[in-house]
Amino acid sequence: MNPHPLKQREQDLMQFYSYCQLGMTPKQFYTKWQVNHEQMAQICDRSLSTVRRWFARGKNYRRPMPADLRHLALMNFLLEHFEEIPEELLQKLCFPDESE
């Protein structure tokens, strides 16, 4: 399989994405959506104990990683715009191997 060459449009998109400020804290997500820690762990692909540490105080506190903030922001975006996104596009996003 040969890689696709990058045209200017694709390079512009990569540049745009690299500066994208997509991020949402666990507290912001938890305040906005009626979710529990288990669901948040599933969204971020983290253990339940890790998510609990995000909400802990003192020595048990653990700061979420940038990837966690991005996962929560992306899930927030999907929840807000779910009905606007065509089913085919959702399938390609979430199940890329099955849509080919």
Long-range contacts, 49-58 (Cβ 8 Å, 24+): 51/26, 54/26, 55/26, 55/27, 55/30
Report the pLDDT averaged over residues 53-57.
Answer: 97
pLDDT at 100 over 70: no
> Which candidate, 59, 71, 62, places its Cα nearest to that of 28?
71
Residue boundaries of the structural domains of the chain = 22-94
Q: What is the pLDDT of residues 6-27, one digit of tens each?
A: 999 999 999 999 998 899 999 9
Question: How many CA atoms are closer than 13 Å to the CA of 10, on its beta-carbon side?
Answer: 4
Instruction: Confirm whether pTM is higher than 0.95.
Output: no
Q: What is the pLDDT of residues 61-85, one digit of tens each?
A: 999 999 999 999 999 999 999 999 9
